[in-house]
């Protein structure tokens, strides 16, 4: 950090810092911002990504899909389970029917859980974007299912 330009905030993980920098129009002073990571969770962030296949652009729609997918499947590495019995193929099938928050809640309800648990898992899955961070308070804004629908 002493040798290179850097940005860090207490209480934020590196993934969240990357997500904020990648989605803020002016914070990172660069012509292009490219996320370089092998972590599939970062595909929940819209923008340019370096992948084994080269440079890919993840649209906001694709990033939102990936986020809802993670909310359903969870991430054992990151320590949150998602919806019981929902793996990647089932999540794909469910989201192919309808890709929105109400569908995610319906899947959780089909497993005997409700919106409260779905919201808890979504907040664990969420990698912060610039819109999810209060720059004045220097604190995350908890994701709300209606914030992306507005």
Summarised one tens digit per residue, pLDDT across range 47-84 is: 999 988 889 999 999 999 999 999 999 999 999 999 99
Q: Which CATH number fits domain 60-125: 1.10.287, 1.10.150, 1.10.357, 1.10.20?
A: 1.10.150
The pLDDT assigned to 51 comes to 85
CATH 1.10.150 in the chain is located at 60-125
Cα–Cα distance, 45 to 59 (Å, whole number): 8
Residue 85: how many CB atoms within 10 A of its CB?
9
Per DSSP, the three-state class of 80 is strand
What's the number of CA atoms in the CB half-sphere (13 Å) around residue 148? Answer: 21
Question: Which SS3 state, helix, strand or coil, does residue 120 take?
Answer: helix
Bridge-based pairing state of the strands 133-134 and 139-140: antiparallel
Look up the pTM and report it: 0.91
Sheet holding 54-58, edge to edge: 34-36, 47-51, 54-58
Q: Which residue has the tokens 């920098």?
A: 21
Note whether 137 and 110 are within 8 A (CB): no
Detail the DSSP E strand segments found in the chain: 34-36, 47-51, 54-58, 133-134, 139-140
- Residuewise pLDDT in 10s, the chain (150 residues): 788 777 788 889 999 999 999 999 888 878 889 999 888 899 999 999 998 888 999 999 999 999 999 999 999 999 999 999 999 999 999 999 999 999 999 999 999 999 999 999 999 999 999 999 999 999 999 999 975 444
Query: For 72, what's the count of Cα atoms within 13 Å in the CB-facing half-sphere?
Result: 29
């Amino acid at each position: 950090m002493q040798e290179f330009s850097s940005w860090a905030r207490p209480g934020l993980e590196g993934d969240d810092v990357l997500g904020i920098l990648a989605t803020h129009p002016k914070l990172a002073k660069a012509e292009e911002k490219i996320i370089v990571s092998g972590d599939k969770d970062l595909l929940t962030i819209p923008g340019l990504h370096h992948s084994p296949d080269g440079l890919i652009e993840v649209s906001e729609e694709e990033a939102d899909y990936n986020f809802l997918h993670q909310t359903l499947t969870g991430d054992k590495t990151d320590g949150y389970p998602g919806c019981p019995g929902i793996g990647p193929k089932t999540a794909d099938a469910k989201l192919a029917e309808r890709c929105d928050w109400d569908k995610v809640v319906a899947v959780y309800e089909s497993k005997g859980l409700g919106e409260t648990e779905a919201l808890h898992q979504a907040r664990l899955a969420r990698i912060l974007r610039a819109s999810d961070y209060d720059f004045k308070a220097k604190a995350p804004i908890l994701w709300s299912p209606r914030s992306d629908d507005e």
